[in-house]
Amino acid sequence: MTVVGVIMGSDSDWPTMQAAAEALREFDVPHEVRVLSAHRTPRAMLDYAAEAAGRGLRVIIAGAGGAAHLPGMVASATPLPVIGVPVPLKYLDGMDSLLSIVQMPAGVPVATVSIGGARNAGLLAVRMLAAADPDLRARMEGFQRSLQDLVAQKDAALRQA
> Known binding site for substrate: residues?
10, 13, 40
Among residues 89 and 129, whose Cβ is nearest to ligand RP5?
89
Residues 71-100 that bind ligand RP5 (CB under 6 A): 87, 89
Contact call for residues 60 and 29 (beta carbons, < 8 A): no
Give whichever of 13 and 130 is closer to ligand RP5, judged by the CB atom: 13
# chain residues binding ligand RP5, by CB under 6 A: 11
Q: Using the rule CB under 6 A, is 10 a contact of ligand RP5?
A: yes
State which of residues 66, 116, 117, 122 lies at the interface with ligand RP5 (CB under 6 A). Answer: 66
Contact with ligand RP5 (CB under 6 A) among 18, 37, 41, 76: 37
Residues in a beta bridge with 45: none
For 3, 23, 41, 74, 85, the CA distances from 44, given in Å and listed in that order, are 19, 26, 5, 11, 20
Residues 147, 150, 152, 155, CA torsion sign: negative
Distances (CA, A) of 108 to 20, 75, 93: 22, 6, 26
Output 101 or 128, the one with its CB closest to ligand RP5.
Answer: 101
**Beta carbons within 8 Å of 104's beta carbon, 6+ residues apart:** 72, 75, 110
* 65 vs 72, beta carbon nearer ligand RP5: 65
State the residues that interact with ligand RP5 by CB under 6 A.
8-10, 12-13, 37, 64-66, 87, 89
